Structure 1
């Protein structure tokens, strides 16, 4: 195990040694003992080996890489609806299955973010990785009531969904930019039996 030393601790003890020397209390033994004492008291083990199945650095890099492309793929609601009407386009709702059943934009397919795997995405999206995928989340709605309670902006589901889709190899992602009212008939919100039937 490789150890690392707190440099502030070394500086503190070195300072103490300097004061002892200044006032005539430092001896040869003390000069040898102080550094050893510093290593003994302030040496701590390195962080444990990382989990090879969790790559935070890779996630941070992916987030940086996605940022520029995402900025060019934010759509107003009218453009979002027009893009969704294109041949082969898919509206993907990554909220929980329960919230999706309580209400969603008509035509959307549900795959909760927590269920994202390469296999699950392939089943939901199909073999065409360049298929236009349109996403929205709670924070696209002004209603702030079930099933779209407002989330903390920096943790909005759209952000995580966009990054995950690109990370899994689906580059043609488009995100709803606008905040809309799901009570507006133009939004095409479905509830109740229609939503549960997957309409």
Structure 2
């Protein structure tokens, strides 16, 4: 139970940040600046939002608590729903970006569930790329994941191309940052000047 509690606690805190990003988007507020300002308070430490929550612990363990005590675990359930719903919000941002751009190329940067690893388990990036490939019938979807050599089975045969960062940037109209890998962090920002950029990690602020 202690391990489940640890991961549920982390999930709830991430959900607060993710929900704050949705609120900020609706109000036209820079969520990254908002969190930076709020965190100046000595007893406030808001985490950074992202495209969802992945991995085989945080994205899974809270459900064991919910399934065992469904009436009591209302906050834990809501946090899971918020985090599980974030990929759909990202997809909607991409859909808006390609609207009126038939044949647009969308480069999705990162498939792992966190930075600088090759672990794709429960990754929200996978779900996002899957949905984009299925729903954006007039667009081409590219995946860039420097830590793997091949697409996972869940993306193979879905019309998604895996390619290197340089090639992807040459082809892309829309760049979607999903994972804050170091190689993406070190990217020369001038190379993004001619692209529509959707930065789900606040890496290129």
User: Do the structures match in fold with TM over 0.5?
Assistant: no
TM-score of the aligned structures, taking structure 1 as reference length: 0.29
TM-score of the aligned structures, taking structure 2 as reference length: 0.28
